[in-house]
Structure 1
Amino acid sequence: MLLLHQARAVRSLTASVLRATVVGATTAGMGLLARAAWGIPTALGASRAEIAEAAGDSPRFADGTFHNTQSGGLLRPVNPAALIVAMLSRGQSGAPTGPVPLAVPRFPTVADQLAVTWYGHSSALIEIDGRRVLVDPVWSDRVSPSPLIGPKRMHPVPTGLDALPEVDAVLISHDHYDHLDLPTVRELVRRGSAPFVVPLGVGAHLRSWGVPAERVVELDWGGQARVRELTLTCTEARHFSGRSLARNTTLWSSWVIAGPQHGVFFGGDTGYTPSFAEIGARFGPFNLTLLPIGAYNEQWPEVHMTPEEAVRAHGDLGGGLLVPVHWATFNLAFHEWSEPVRRLLAEAKRADTRVAVPMPGERFIVNTPPENDWWSAIS
């Protein structure tokens, strides 16, 4: 989550400054700092004033920020010293013990009726009723405003953006760096013409990065956009936002992707909320759900679901097949690398829930999900 990203960034930047000081602020040391800071102002996105224009009279916007329906803080009371010790002493438990196996997807000329390709973390390409929707695409090596500082990928991107088939829409759940990536956005703009459908305020970031205004659709919870035969509905999530120290200036969301024959729910990044049952009753049942299972911790239970809560949410939504996301790619919390998927499968077995765990880059038809265990050998 953003707090840990910032803490790691500060720790890394401090180390960089110390190294530069030790060498007497040499040209090499100063060059390192310059490279680390390169592009940060642009990556931070739009100003608070530019973002606020999109809020309008949203019932979720008050006193200059957006708010969750349920009350509760982002963090439970925590001893800062204990948090720092945990960060410094966790070792490599959050990383795999070997290379993560990757697959190279092969796409048909025409999109399938219901298929999914998971690229790692929350990035996925959903094929539904002959259309393609790309969700939370992040192709950069780091999820950070800096190219040198911040959480780094634990596995490569399975394929480059040049290998993507033409997409009909790009959905963004919120503006955190591990879900909204400046270089990826710019490359998608250059390579295609698909609209970016985003929660309120996120469009200001996109426009500041050069995305044509006519390709940006901003929605509040409950808002809908029609893209060809698909109806895209912005739905509630329990999270927060912000690309700098200013939080909650933009809205966060989950998404309902509805075609003539099939329905998909994309959770983005969220804590558990009773709103899932309301979404399921109104828009479900869903043939497929993609729900976050990683980066949870007892210190921030309101904004990241545990694997057990993901299974519960899947049931609330009336989901058919559950595909876990938001794990395996970036080390953003204190749990072991494979703990989320182990806990997910144990709870899914208890609840009799259908789950598919593809390897990064693996494309599959939802009616024939993969069953291979690729993670245990590197856990």
Structure 2
Amino acid sequence: MNRRTFIMGGLGTLGIVAGGGALFTQRPEFGRLPQGERLARMQASPHYVNGKFQNLVPVQVMNEANGENRFVAMAKFLFGDKSHLSPKQAMLSKKTDLHSLNPQEDIVVWLGHSSFFMQLGGYRILIDPVFSPYASPLFFINKAFPGSNVYSAEDMPEIDVLAISHDHWDHLDYPTIMALKPKVKHIVCPLGVGEYFEGWGFDKELLHEEDWDTEIKLADDLSVHILPSQHFSGRFLTSNPTLWCGFAFVTPQRRVYYTGDGGYGEHFKAIGQKFGGFDLMLGENGQYNMAWHAIHMLPEETAQAAAEVGAKQLLPAHGGKFALSRHPWQEPYRELTKASRGKGYQLVTPEIGELAYIDSHKNTLFAPWWENME
């Protein structure tokens, strides 16, 4: 084989790989970038600068903590020792029959990672549902822990409100969303995220898509507030094409705050002052690393945030299903338990599928189930 033949063959192979990659990213789960009227709304936001969204305070998504740049971090994530990142046995769970619940009871059921089913003021709310075995478009990345996928779309009753905090794969899951499609009455999401739903054939009338610090009044007795978080977005190569957020769910009797993903910042104090406290905070706690400390909280920061927003109860999110970081899978629960001692809130740690009450007087002490697993 001469040099020219070798080079042409190599170029041909690269062309095939590139062409296959281009076709792969045309799959519907990648979605499409915002356009038209939606893009014009985004461009009018004070948080949209130079073609992308930005945080309230500029932060680096990745820094080189301990000499670990993004390439080193990715290499460790893909090829490093994973023996301590996930349980050696099936996750403990208690599968609650969601169809049989009294709809007038204010309850929450953790479905694993950052997915929650909640009943509030007679409304059924589903937050960031991911029922797929992988939080990734690739079958070998971000596999769910054994036993953590105990719920499916078929287990969900009719959903009054589907709340999506941002477009990352572990929060916006195409197969789950499409399976839920016939059951969803309203969708709330931050600016730009509605483009995914329209591209996937959802009726535009279902969408309530707003900027930070906006109230979405779905009924006289139910409001959903889109709130700031310190994070980022994007499902492939485009950086921050859509907004990310936390949510406050408010009825005449209750207030529940979901942080979404994000690092610690002054926005927690502002949210606490604005709402005067919450009956429950669903707080990010897991998948942290000092290399991306600005966009994921450490457990002690989750505890601090819960205190600052005035939460009566704290239920941790973002753990127990996917290993997206390098810490041992049990560490977030152990560290948050220590950080919560002496705080003014009750730490609520149900197993996946175990019912918890939003009324702090009704909950009993949950066992530290992570200590009963290897």
TM-score (norm 1): 0.86
Alignment partner of 1:360: what SS? Answer: coil
What code does the residue aligned with 2:52 have?
T
Deviates more, 1:153-162 or 1:106-115: 106-115
Match status 1:212 vs 2:212: no
Larger radius of gyration: 2
Q: 1:316-369 deviations in whole A, cap 9, x for unaligned?
A: 100001000100100100100100000000010143531011111111223214
Match status 1:292 vs 2:289: no
Alignment equivalent of 2:216, drawn from 225, 249, 260: 225
CA contact (8 A) 2:169 2:235 kept: yes
CA contact (8 A) 2:279 2:312 kept: yes
Match status 1:124 vs 2:106: no
1:253–1:369 Cα change, 3 Å:
farther
1:359-374 → structure 2 map (5 Å cutoff):
359-366=351-358, 367-374=362-369
Show the counterpart of 2:4: none
Alignment partner of 1:197: what SS? Answer: strand
1:146-295 → structure 2 map (5 Å cutoff):
146=138, 148-154=139-145, 155-190=147-182, 192-228=183-219, 229-295=221-287
Residues in 2 aligned to 1:360 and 1:48: alpha-carbon distance in whole angstroms: 35
What code does the residue aligned with 1:260 have?
P
CA contact (8 A) 2:62 2:70 kept: no
Alignment equivalent of 1:64, drawn from 45, 51, 57: 51
Offset at residue 149 of structure 1 (A): 3.5
Offset at residue 188 of structure 1 (A): 1.3
CA contact (8 A) 2:63 2:69 kept: no
Residues in 2 aligned to 1:368 and 1:100: alpha-carbon distance in whole angstroms: 22
Alignment equivalent of 2:32, drawn from 46, 50, 58: 46
Residues in 2 aligned to 1:80 and 1:313: alpha-carbon distance in whole angstroms: 27
What code does the residue aligned with 2:84 have?
S
RMSD: 2.2
Alignment partner of 2:369: what SS? Answer: coil
What code does the residue aligned with 1:83 have?
A
Deviates more, 1:217-226 or 1:318-327: 217-226
Identity among equivalent positions (%) equals 30
What code does the residue aligned with 1:377 have?
N
What code does the residue aligned with 1:157 have?
N
Offset at residue 55 of structure 1 (A): 0.5
CA contact (8 A) 1:267 1:291 kept: yes
Unaligned runs of 5+ in 2: 1-12
Residues in 2 aligned to 1:91 and 1:302: alpha-carbon distance in whole angstroms: 24
**Count of residue pairs brought into register by the alignment:** 346
What code does the residue aligned with 1:374 have?
W
CA contact (8 A) 1:121 1:328 kept: yes
Match status 1:136 vs 2:128: yes
CA contact (8 A) 1:364 1:370 kept: no
Residues in 1 aligned to 2:209 and 2:71: alpha-carbon distance in whole angstroms: 40
Offset at residue 377 of structure 1 (A): 2.2
What code does the residue aligned with 1:153 have?
A
CA contact (8 A) 1:358 1:370 kept: no
Runs of 4 or more, structure 1, over 6 Å off, are none
Deviates more, 1:358-367 or 1:58-67: 358-367
Alignment partner of 1:311: what SS? Answer: helix
Show the counterpart of 1:320: 312
Alignment equivalent of 1:91, drawn from 60, 82, 97: 82
1:84–1:42 Cα change, 3 Å:
closer
Residues in 2 aligned to 1:329 and 1:40: alpha-carbon distance in whole angstroms: 28
Deviates more, 1:39-48 or 1:177-186: 39-48
Show the counterpart of 1:335: 327
Residues in 1 aligned to 2:354 and 2:326: alpha-carbon distance in whole angstroms: 27
Show the counterpart of 1:358: 350
Offset at residue 194 of structure 1 (A): 1.5
1:284–1:352 Cα change, 3 Å:
closer
What code does the residue aligned with 1:62 have?
V
Unaligned runs of 5+ in 1: 1-24
Offset at residue 164 of structure 1 (A): 1.3
Residues in 2 aligned to 1:227 and 1:188: alpha-carbon distance in whole angstroms: 20
CA contact (8 A) 2:114 2:317 kept: yes
Residues in 1 aligned to 2:271 and 2:353: alpha-carbon distance in whole angstroms: 29
Residues in 1 aligned to 2:231 and 2:127: alpha-carbon distance in whole angstroms: 17
1:319–1:352 Cα change, 3 Å:
closer
1:84–1:246 Cα change, 3 Å:
closer
